[in-house]
Amino acid sequence: MAAKLNAPVDAQIELTQACNWRCRHCYNYWRSAGTTTKPGRHLSCENLFRIVQELVTNQVPSITITGGEPFSQRREIFMLLETAERAGIHASINTNLSLVKKEDIEKLANKHSNVSILFSLLSADAAEHEHLAGAPSGSYVRVIEIAALAIQHGIPVSLNMVLMRENLHAMEVTARLAKNLGVRTFCATKALPNAHAPDSAFLLSAEEVHWSLAELMRIEELLDIPVDILGCYPKCFLAGTPAYQRFSHRTCVAGYTTVTIGADGKVRPCSHLETSYGNIFHKPLADIWQEMDGWREGEFIPEECHGCPVVTACRGGCRVNTLTSGLKNMDCYADTRRLVGLSQERLVSHLSEEISDIPTKVMVCPQVGFRNEPFGALVYRTDPLAIVLVNHSAVVFLKTVAEKGEKFDFLSFLKRSGARTKSERKNVERLYQKLIRKGFLIKPANQQERRK
Ligand SMILES: C[S@@+](CC[C@H](N)C(=O)[O-])C[C@H]1O[C@@H](n2cnc3c(N)ncnc32)[C@H](O)[C@@H]1O
Ligand code: SF4
Ligand code: SF4
């Protein structure tokens, strides 16, 4: 069972259901097959204000503004950014960029310097992109110009290429474009089935996904560009491949660390699914979150996964990959045969990259936040979002050294952890390494200088 958090870490806010593009792969459940979005609902400024108040009450540190196309509601998006910022909530925006104006970029850069952008591009080939996105001719050029402008203004911009059969061939050339633009991360995300066309022919086969992950790792090395995937795969699908270590950190976070708040106020564990557990305008978020307990308690982990050595980390892969067969079924990419002969120790140790260069002294990164939880605390950073869960003794120690800006080493961390047995000590060592790997513990500045 996954550790239970008091509240989500990130809330996706669907500012509007409207969109000017017609991506046929788009997962927005309110689309009907092959058709356009109706005028669509959107969240008013007043309702956005109420949402932010609920997020503050529940200490949610981060939001992702999405839709539909959020820039079709210009007034509301800037009001939301301002309100969230005042409340100390970090915001990032998912957008197709096509409606963003030069003035918007200036406003974002000058007034909302913490915001980051993830934009969708389906190919570096203009005609291919516009065809797959159902976007009017000229959209591609506009998007690239705006992305370049945003990057020039110092806004962290990442590119998301949704992978389908038709655009797989364009991965490298699109990554090259991303590199030339200067994006922060090139994300290549397998298209998930959508409710209005769950059996679509554009979805990748298991072989194609394996190829895309290997290709992404090749691109990372070839172009020296940070890459990522935004979905997750069952661990047994990746087991035995180099991608296991590289991409296994991605697990399903629906109802576990994230929720989606729809343009109608309905709160859902997953953006891709229509299932809601209550409306934020009629019920406190804390109560809705409680209703989603099943997502954290393993309600949707398939029967076949119980007893799997990595079920706690995997949680059965992605629930959207079961859209045609039912939420409690196996992820269509799961392949338990790949686990045969692999020891649990090996599988678990390969889930996290070993750190070769552990600094002798470390300190807590100043951007780190803490939120009390029943088991201890959630330790988080918001840009890019990263979390680590720690127990009571670890959080007392981390908060104290963070407040004082104190430097410490592994031995003092271990001593304060209260670990007695060998396996407890091993767990503390894993936690310490994880905190370093995720950037929560950093080398003190003077140590960094001396090493240069
Ligand atoms: C629904 S869109 C809304 C924001 C904005 N209109 C955009 O396209 O970026 C949010 C994200 O989901 C991605 N996306 C859309 N359909 C998808 C699918 N079937 N599978 C995986 N990702 C998808 C988009 O590329 C985008 O990064
Ligand atoms: S631009 Fe975004 S919201 Fe619009 S159709 Fe494409 S994926 Fe969906
Ligand atoms: S058997 Fe289930 S829990 Fe285990 S790796 Fe496969 S999908 Fe994940």
Which residue is associated with the tokens 């939880």?
373
Pocket test of ligand 1: the residue of 12, 21, 25, 26 to mutate, having most ligand atoms within 8 Å of its CB, is: 26
Which domain covers residue 396, as residue numbers? 363-442
The whole-model pTM stands at: 0.94
Nearest CA to ligand 2 atom 7: 26
- State which of 317, 346, 375 marks the end of a domain: 346
Clarify whether residues 339 and 382 are in a common domain.
no
- How many angstroms does the Cα of residue 22 sit away from the middle of ligand 2? 6
Clarify whether residues 279 and 147 are in a common domain.
yes
In a domain, 259, yes or no: yes
pLDDT at 449: 41
Clarify whether residues 367 and 342 are in a common domain.
no
Clarify whether residues 97 and 211 are in a common domain.
yes
pLDDT at 446: 60
Clarify whether residues 269 and 414 are in a common domain.
no
In a domain, 4, yes or no: no
- Binding site membership of 21 for ligand 2 (Cβ less than 6 Å): yes
Give the chain's domain count.
2
pLDDT at 451: 40
- Binding site membership of 96 for ligand 1 (Cβ less than 6 Å): yes
Clarify whether residues 248 and 372 are in a common domain.
no
In a domain, 407, yes or no: yes
In a domain, 390, yes or no: yes
Clarify whether residues 276 and 388 are in a common domain.
no
The CATH number given to whatever domain includes residue 76 is 3.20.20.70
Average pLDDT of adjacent 10-residue blocks, the chain of 452 residues: 86 97 92 60 97 98 98 97 98 98 98 96 98 97 98 98 97 98 98 81 94 98 98 94 91 96 97 96 98 94 92 93 82 92 75 72 96 96 94 95 95 92 92 93 70 38
In a domain, 356, yes or no: no
Residue at 156: amino acid letter: P
- State which of 321, 346, 371 marks the end of a domain: 346
Q: Which is nearest to 390 in space by CA: 413, 367, 410?
A: 413
In a domain, 2, yes or no: no
Clarify whether residues 199 and 274 are in a common domain.
yes
In a domain, 388, yes or no: yes
Pocket test of ligand 3: the residue of 310, 318, 329, 338 to mutate, having most ligand atoms within 8 Å of its CB, is: 310
Clarify whether residues 261 and 122 are in a common domain.
yes
Clarify whether residues 291 and 382 are in a common domain.
no
In a domain, 267, yes or no: yes
Clarify whether residues 288 and 376 are in a common domain.
no
pLDDT at 355: 66
pLDDT at 341: 83
Pocket test of ligand 2: the residue of 27, 96, 131, 161 to mutate, having most ligand atoms within 8 Å of its CB, is: 96
Shortest-distance ligand to the CA of residue 303: 3
- Binding site membership of 20 for ligand 1 (Cβ less than 6 Å): no
